[in-house]
Amino acid sequence: MMRTVGRSVERRGAKDVVRGKALYADDIRVDGVIHLKVVRSIRSHAIVKEVDTSVAELIPGVVKVFTSKDIKGSNRYGIITKDQEILVERKVRYVGDPIALVAAETEAIAVEAARSVKVAYEDLVPFFTIEEAKGCTTEPIHEDGNLLSSRDIIKGDIDQGFAEADVVIEETYTTSMAAHGYLETETGIGTLDERGRIAIYVSTQNPHYDQDDVVAALGLRPHELRIVQATTGAGFGGKLDISVQGLIALAIQHLKRPVKLRYSMEETMQAAAKRHAMVMHYKTGARNDGRVTAVDVRLTLDTGAYASYGLAVLSRAAAHAVGPYEVPHVRVHGELYYTNRIWAGAMRGFGVPQVSFAHEGQMDSLAKALGIDPFEIRMINALKPGSTTATGQVLHASVGIGETLKRVKDAKERRERNPEKRHVKVRPWVKSGWGIASFWYGIGNTGLPNPSTAQIHVDEKGEITLYTGAADIGQGSDTVLLQIAAEALQVSDKDLKLIRGDTGLTTDAGATSASRQTYISGNAVKSAAENLIQKLAQEASSQLTVPLPEIGYESGEFKGGGKTVTMRELAKELHQKGQIPIGEGRFDPPITLLDKETGQGIPYATYTYGTYYAEVEVDTGTGEVSVEHVIAAADVGKAVNPANVAGQIIGGVAMGIGYALMEEFESGKTRSLTDYLYPTSMDVPPVEVIIVEDPEPSGPFGAKGVGEPALIPTAPAIINAINKALNTKILDLPAKLERVMKTVLKSPCSGGI
Amino acid sequence: MRDIKISFVINGEKMTVEIPPNISLLDLLRDHLGLTGTKKGCGIGECGACTVLINGKPVNACLVLAPQINGKDIQTIEGLGTETSLHPLQKAFVDKGVVQCGFCIPGMLMSLKALYNECPVVNQQEVKKAISGNLCRCTGYQQIVEAGESVSKKGRNKR
Ligand code: FES
Ligand code: FES
């Protein structure tokens, strides 16, 4: 019987949050702090001829104005491709590129001075679309050209696959850029700490990466910089990149004074990564019995001015392009282009929300063409243990896609039998429909090592502390990792202290991305706990003079030969001997690199699966869509904290409603939350959460991950429901009023349930 | 600009301060009074993270000029419950596992407090409406609404 894992224990830090006591970076007060403000490009693609800071520097209260000349290191950063500069040197690549940095005694003075920095530009030909980027004959955005990368996946023989097909569906789907929409903007505050290090308290998803890249960019030595993750007001991928960290470190390096930088919401919109817009051409063939025989996909991604996580998004999109189905013949080709739009990076789902819109659109089209029920056609093709994926990976266990389909179907039928639940509205112009969508999501980085490490320490009083580099950005990893540690140590999670996300005190746990912290850091934490027990058992063996194999451990006590010694006693003893009881853990998921030409290999050790159902009502007079009900089933392996899993799923549904119907980030136009609208409490329907637990043998207590997966199938389920309501086919996200109205006007008759 | 003197009651305590006349109530709270529980999100009245109560009614503190609170009664998250005795709304938020990143939460709680100032008996729809000006990107609102409603006094809601 598990005592902590599987229970909705109280979230660590929740009491501080509800009392307004949690310290986000903007809440940390340091005397004599200097305020920073970034001078940003107003051109899309231009040589910077001159940066004139003379007027700004004369303004009383201005301490210094920095340009790239003040940077002593490489001035380059980027998680995969080092193509971004802390302050640009030669040219700007989008409206928002950082050119200079003002340091002043107050924020108001910094803002004013930033306005008086004069920049002389010489414009280059800009590339605003992928077509323009492809046809470039002038100076490309980056030296190596506008094509950043491509990816292929080849399984079987695509021609044979189509030869075997009785029906072929071919469509082109598109999605827009989207914004993360977190309420806490990028913020950090830094000081020189007692050891003379630059210590930055910052809103981040990736403290150890921040440290590595800032150190290199500024020519610091690793021990001269410490990154501490402050309480973080969400990230969704947007705080994986460096934002304020390098600028704050630069200012402290020169001024030796505390400094602070907080992006305004407008700046977050203008100068932080966005979700990649994609064009997805799909050709899918199936036999009359519903079996998919071939999937041929061409993906084109716009990564904007900088690579950021673009390559990871491309790789993951390609690996997930066929959806959670077993398809014998697959060909995927994806290309990633630079343009002079705002840069795109990681956002919840890394390309999978995009491709799932396409593969689930294809599934529904096939179902319609073949006269097969949408649940049925997915069931026929769903992955199961023993299946081979598009990358040639044979799945062995924890493949719960079929179960999620079954459970959603049951819930839907239950709902239909219960007439009270289905209020009938007599408005003939309102059409209703339902739709489903399934997904899969590989946990951890795609075909790349991504280890996590952790330590558990016992002090002389027996107090246990978990050290993890994993950033909790609101998704709940603090609580989940404590639960895993507590379970492995057979103690209460309340008895454990936590030190997290501090490069001065914790070791690298990898990024809070790819929904990897529960599975990967969870495993590292679990092995740290086991290592601690093992070490203490050795000490118990010598103290109790009982051979090690006879020492048993239970709930903080070591027993053997009829004698007992507690963890606390052992720890005290060890401390007195000058030995520190500390358990070390590390986990790197068992994956293989993917073949360069065929993309074959094991990209992920495990996958989360799920199926969502959505009911919509469409007002055919206005194009307005309202989502009436959602049933959401996800196979998470094991829900370490069920309330938390439900929270992720319901939050993912809300974000998915925005992605489906409202959210379109227009580079150069969208300014703030005034014109980037996302769901409020009035836009969300009741969500029925179904947690499926098909345990993952390699997961900590069977767990996989849920953070990103929770979002993925929402938009496709909603679009499939609209398609059913209107008897149409929507190919572009988001389905804003105008787009829906266009299809209403085109469709000769509107069906529905 | 010369500083001006204003007096008000904040979380039950009388206070007089001299401040620049052009700062927002949000900056007064956060930067001058050290009450950082009220959050700055958008700064332009769109997100509700800065919600506080003036004479019991919810406002976006980023849109209020500090001098406007002269003679008024202000309540912020710091005045809602204490460490040892959480307000029932706070307790419900903790017990029901509502909190994710938490940045919207102080504002949400203040909007709900305002709702309950009006009426001790509320239904889910009223809770949803009360927080409709408070954006949350994490939770999808459902658990917030359930927690918000759970402290309603039982009884017929006639409104
Ligand atoms: S900060 Fe005041 S409404 Fe957003
Ligand atoms: S909990 Fe993150 S914005 Fe609401």
Say if the Cβ atoms of A234 and B49 lie within 8 Å: no
Same domain, A606 and A734: yes
Helix, strand, or coil (residue A610): strand
Same domain, B31 and B70: yes
Q: What is the CATH number of the domain that holds B60?
A: 3.10.20.30
User: What's chain A's length in residues?
Assistant: 753
Same domain, A530 and A483: yes
Query: What phi, psi does A521 have (nearest 5°)?
Result: -70, -30
The predicted structure's pLDDT at residue B158: 40
Contacts of B154 (CB under 8 A, 6+ apart): B121
DSSP run (H or E) holding A35: strand A34-40
- Which chain B residues touch A265 with a CB distance below 8 Å? 41-44, 47
Atom of ligand 1 nearest to the CA of A183: 4
Average pLDDT over residues A444-470: 97
Say if the Cβ atoms of A233 and B139 lie within 8 Å: no
pLDDT band (50, 70, 90) for residue B155 = low
Atom of ligand 2 nearest to the CA of B100: 1
Determine the Cα–Cα distance for residues A107 and A109; give it in Å rounded to an integer: 5
**Nearest 10 degrees: CA dihedral of A73, A78, A82, A87?**
-50
Same domain, A527 and A653: no
Same domain, A461 and A440: no
Residue B74: both structure tokens together: 């202000």
Determine the Cα–Cα distance for residues B135 and A682; give it in Å rounded to an integer: 11
The predicted structure's pLDDT at residue A749: 53
Say if the Cβ atoms of B36 and A655 lie within 8 Å: no
Same domain, B12 and B72: yes
Same domain, B74 and B141: no
Residue A42: both structure tokens together: 């107003």
Average pLDDT over residues A36-41: 98
Q: Residue A257: inside a domain, yes or no?
A: yes
Structural contact between residues A238 and A347, judged by C-beta atoms closer than 8 angstroms: yes
Residue A223: both structure tokens together: 């021990």
- Which chain B residues touch A183 with a CB distance below 8 Å? 39, 41-42, 47, 49, 101, 103-104, 135-137
The predicted structure's pLDDT at residue A750: 47
Of B19, B48, B79, the residue at which a domain comes to its end is B79
pLDDT tens digits, one per residue of A568-619:
999 999 999 999 999 999 999 999 999 999 999 999 999 999 999 999 999 9
Of A587, A609, A629, the residue at which a domain comes to its end is A587
* Structural domain for A516, as ranges: 451-587
Of A213, A230, A262, the residue at which a domain comes to its end is A262
Whether the pLDDT of residue B157 is over 60: the answer is no
Question: How many domains in chain A?
Answer: 3
Q: What is the CATH number of the domain that holds B109?
A: 1.10.150.120
Identify the bridge partners of residue A50 per DSSP, sorted by sequence position: A120
Q: Residue A371: inside a domain, yes or no?
A: yes
Same domain, A321 and A359: yes
Query: What phi, psi does A279 have (nearest 5°)?
Result: -115, 125
Say if the Cβ atoms of B41 and A651 lie within 8 Å: no
Same domain, A439 and A466: no
The predicted structure's pLDDT at residue A753: 37
Same domain, B134 and B117: yes
Determine the Cα–Cα distance for residues B77 and B146; give it in Å rounded to an integer: 20
Mean pLDDT of all residues belonging to chain A: 96
**Interface test with chain B among A12, A662, A680, A681, by most B beta carbons within 10 Å:** A681
Q: Which residues line ligand 1 (CB under 6 A)?
A: B 40-43, 45-50, 60, 62
Determine the Cα–Cα distance for residues A57 and A76; give it in Å rounded to an integer: 26
Amino acid type, B144: I
Determine the Cα–Cα distance for residues A719 and A614; give it in Å rounded to an integer: 9
Same domain, B66 and B18: yes
Q: Residue A147: inside a domain, yes or no?
A: no
Q: Tell me, what's the ipTM?
A: 0.97
Return the ∠ at Cα A497 (arms to A504 and A237), rounded to 5°.
60
SS (H, E, C) A398-429: CCCHHHHHHHHHHHHHHHHHCHHHCCCCCCCC
* Structural domain for B131, as ranges: 88-157
The predicted structure's pLDDT at residue A752: 40
Question: How many domains in chain B?
Answer: 2
Of B56, B79, B102, the residue at which a domain comes to its end is B79
Determine the Cα–Cα distance for residues A93 and A141; give it in Å rounded to an integer: 7
CA A206 / ligand 1 centre spacing (Å)? 27
pLDDT band (50, 70, 90) for residue A682 = very high
**Interface test with chain B among A8, A12, A18, by most B beta carbons within 10 Å:** A18
Say if the Cβ atoms of A183 and B142 lie within 8 Å: no
Of B79, B97, B127, the residue at which a domain comes to its end is B79
Same domain, A704 and A660: yes
Same domain, B103 and B133: yes
Q: What is the CATH number of the domain that holds A339?
A: 3.30.365.10
Residue among B136, B104, B117, B50 at smallest CA distance from A681: B136
Determine the Cα–Cα distance for residues A614 and A608; give it in Å rounded to an integer: 20
Whether the pLDDT of residue A751 is over 50: the answer is no
Same domain, A605 and A691: yes
Average pLDDT over residues B86-99: 97
Residue A594: DSSP 8-state: P
Average pLDDT over residues A451-476: 97
Same domain, B66 and B92: no
Residue among A716, A26, A30 at smallest CA distance from A359: A716
Same domain, B75 and B94: no
Name the residue among A23, A26, A681 with its Cβ closest to that of B141. Answer: A681
CA A474 / ligand 2 centre spacing (Å)? 8
Determine the Cα–Cα distance for residues A376 and A370; give it in Å rounded to an integer: 11
Per-residue CA distances from A617 to A17, A627, A706, A719 (Å): 37, 7, 28, 11
Q: What is the CATH number of the domain that holds A108?
A: 3.90.1170.50
Q: Residue A211: inside a domain, yes or no?
A: yes
Cβ atoms within 10 Å of A16's Cβ, excluding its own: 16
Of A569, A587, A605, the residue at which a domain comes to its end is A587
pLDDT tens digits, one per residue of B35-78:
999 999 999 999 999 999 999 999 999 999 999 999 999 999 99
Q: Residue A331: inside a domain, yes or no?
A: yes
Same domain, B69 and B11: yes
Q: Residue A119: inside a domain, yes or no?
A: yes
Q: Residue A156: inside a domain, yes or no?
A: no
Identify the bridge partners of residue B66 per DSSP, sorted by sequence position: none
Residue A621, judged by CB atoms within 10 A of its CB (0-12, 13-18, 19+), counts as exposed
Whether the pLDDT of residue A494 is over 70: the answer is yes
Atom of ligand 1 nearest to the CA of B63: 2
CB contact, 8 Å: A180 with chain B? yes
Q: Residue A667: inside a domain, yes or no?
A: yes
Determine the Cα–Cα distance for residues A484 and A471; give it in Å rounded to an integer: 16
Same domain, B94 and B140: yes
Q: Strands, DSSP E only, in A532-672? A: 552-554, 557-560, 563-566, 582-587, 607-619, 625-635
Return the ∠ at Cα B78 (arms to B76 and B83), rounded to 5°.
150
**Interface test with chain A among B142, B146, B149, B151, by most A beta carbons within 10 Å:** B142
Structural contact between residues A629 and A615, judged by C-beta atoms closer than 8 angstroms: yes
Determine the Cα–Cα distance for residues A172 and A729; give it in Å rounded to an integer: 11
Whether the pLDDT of residue A102 is over 60: the answer is yes
Identify the bridge partners of residue A301 per DSSP, sorted by sequence position: A278, A336
Same domain, B122 and B73: no
Per-residue CA distances from A161 to A158, A296, A297, A601, B102 (Å): 5, 10, 13, 21, 50
